Amino acid sequence: MPASKIPSKPASGTELSSASGVDEPPRSPARRSALKTLAAAAGGASLPLWARYAEAQSAAPIRIGFQMHATGIGAAYGRWYNRTTEAALRLINEAGGINGRPVELVTEDDGTDPKRGAEVVEKFATQHRCDVGYGTLFSHVVMSSAPRAGELKLPYFVVSEGHHVASGALNRWTLQPGITDVKSQVLAMAPFVRENLGRKVTMIFPDYAFGHDHRDFFTQAIEAQGGEVVAKLAIPPSETSFTKYFPKIPRETEVIYHVMVGPSVLTFVKEMGEFFGPSRPELFGFIDSLEAVDLQSPGLEFLEGTYFWEGMPRYAQPDQTDFDRHYRAAIGIDENGALAADPRDVSAYAHMFGCWETLYVIKAGMEACGYRGPDDRAALVEAVEAMSAMPLSNEHPQGAKIFNGKTHQVFGPQYISKVENGRLTVLEETPIEAGFYPDEVDYTTQPL
């Protein structure tokens, strides 16, 4: 199958209408201010440290509560979310911090556990006096933590992909401005699957909210393309062996759609290869099934010629942007998406950019509203709601985006890649509008 041509990328500062073909609504003063702060973020880096904070109204640091999956099934993601967060905050502080104040990270391990997640949010608000909560990935933890953030009126910036924010299931204090959601992703992917791989699909997904989003929204999306899901295999998140599930795949299956997460993903993919051997359906996976896993691992040879969704391409592509180079260098990642100091340590590259971009959105929002402290939390939420266009830049290296202030969800490009010679080669970058769907909530009508 010939590769689709990858669209050229706009230069830094290019308006989103020229990058995506989507008309942008008129910007409010708050929106203009927020976008100016994004573009000017690097300007203070040339100042000496004493001068960068000289004009601040307060020398007290802005405190960001990082809800980290340091242990539990999300630990691989948590490690890379942490590295990405620390790299972005280092650059932000070197450039003068936020509103002339240094930024301090307060990290708490939630164990990738819903109950502990809500407890961590409460600690951020009541013990640590954090200005915002940030960073949660696993959807079942978000679903338990966000209600407590709303009760405490703590702005809660999640980096999760779940549709729970944009669905209206949460509250006005919860935002997802740095990473797209599953519903948007699968809407952009489904046409490729139907047109290139097959019509009859078996889905394999984790049995909790994130997996259920895939189950529900991909089923709708593929049916809209004239395809059908012939089987849905839900896997408990604690599962460590998967061979018993594969005989349940109907013989008529033309495509296996897989999205697995957690420490057993390598086992899952290896056992799938052992079960099918050379006679297998087409495979379309979300990179979650191999996030932080080396494609050169023994037993993964059968993945050659299969396809993956990537949120941000792990391997540097021939048309790599300067923004991607900047991002990799700041975190210490090589062209293969691994830690430069240890090539065996493979990153969660398809997801962790959401941390980087969310931190810069928080910075832009705080600077737009003149944030001074917890009394300005509501003003921060309103400032972020006023944002729309987010141009491709050092602050948004994954791609240009549009933020929907009503639904608190960002929309951006998706990447379809193929395993070729043991690497992921991007075949297609989908346009932003391919992931649009009608609003399901207007959080701006809710009181703060």
Beta-strand pair 255-258/200-206: parallel
d(CA 161, CA 84): 17
d(CA 51, CA 66): 27
User: What average pLDDT does this structure show over 237-262?
Assistant: 94
d(CA 369, CA 213): 34
First and final CA of the chain: distance in angstroms? 52
**In which band, very low, low, confident or very high, does the pLDDT at 38 lie, cut at 50, 70 and 90?**
very low
- Over residues 208-219, the pLDDT tens digits come to 889 999 999 999
pLDDT of res. 43: 44
User: What average pLDDT does this structure show over 229-254?
Assistant: 95
User: What average pLDDT does this structure show over 115-128?
Assistant: 97
- Of 398, 373, 355, the C-alpha closest to 98 is 373
What is the pTM for the complete model shown? Answer: 0.87
d(CA 436, CA 302): 34
pLDDT of res. 56: 52
d(CA 170, CA 143): 8
Task: Name every residue whose Cβ is closer than 8 Å to that of residue 140 and which is 6 or more positions away in sequence.
Answer: 114, 208, 209, 210
**291 pLDDT above the threshold of 50:** yes
Please answer whether residues 414 and 20 qualify as being in contact, where contact means their C-beta atoms are separated by less than 8 angstroms: no
- Over residues 167-200, the pLDDT tens digits come to 999 999 999 999 999 999 999 999 999 999 999 9
What structural domains does the chain harbor? 16-180+348-412 (3.40.50.2300), 183-310 (3.40.50.2300)
User: What average pLDDT does this structure show over 122-138?
Assistant: 97
pLDDT of res. 237: 84
**30 pLDDT above the threshold of 80:** no
**16 pLDDT above the threshold of 80:** no
Task: Name every residue whose Cβ is closer than 8 Å to that of residue 342 and which is 6 or more positions away in sequence.
Answer: none
